[in-house]
Amino acid sequence: MNIAVFASGRGTNFGAIIRAVKKGTIKAYLSLLVCDNPGAAAIGRARRAGIKVALIKRKDFASKQEFEAAIIRHLEENKIDLIALAGFMRVLSPEFVQRFKARILNIHPSLLPSFKGEEGIKDAFEYGVKVTGVTVHFVDEEMDHGPIILQKEIKIEETDTLESLESRIHKVEHKLYPEALKLFVEGRLSIEGRKVKITSR
């Protein structure tokens, strides 16, 4: 199975996926990084790991449709079976999502459906909730909405700052995302309506 990771920034979840593949926890090929930002640290991570990089900048295309068509060409050339969004700062079109239906995963730093969007950690912290967490889900046509695969709760301590909470959430992400990808690669995930069923080995 061939995996493509989409990232726009530091790529710390991408790094966690690289490590899981190298250790054999995820028995698949990490074939491609798709990135829209030439300054992303994720590109350096890919090159150090010997992973092919497709740098596709939105400004180089007249429309979102053309931008996504370029991404699709790279996915097809590399025979990608699974897409893992890891801090990719573009909302994929419904047409793109439909084309790769049930083959796109995303990680989000809150307990969805609460605190959707780019500032999930900050929003939860400022709202004052006592518990937040991490969600891995299938991507559908709505933002941060698809069927949930795995969630992990994280208690917000009275001593937490936004920075300390972010650090703890990222540590959980780096464990939970590879776990979800492993389940997909092993064929243990199925979608029944809005629910994800996980079968035992």
**Residues labelled as active-site residues:** 108
The DSSP line for 29-88 is EEEEEEES-TT-HHHHHHHHHT-EEEE--GGGSSSHHHHHHHHHHHHHHTT--EEEESS-
91 sits in the region (left: phi over 0; alpha: psi -120 to 50; else beta) called beta
The size of the chain, in residues, is: 201
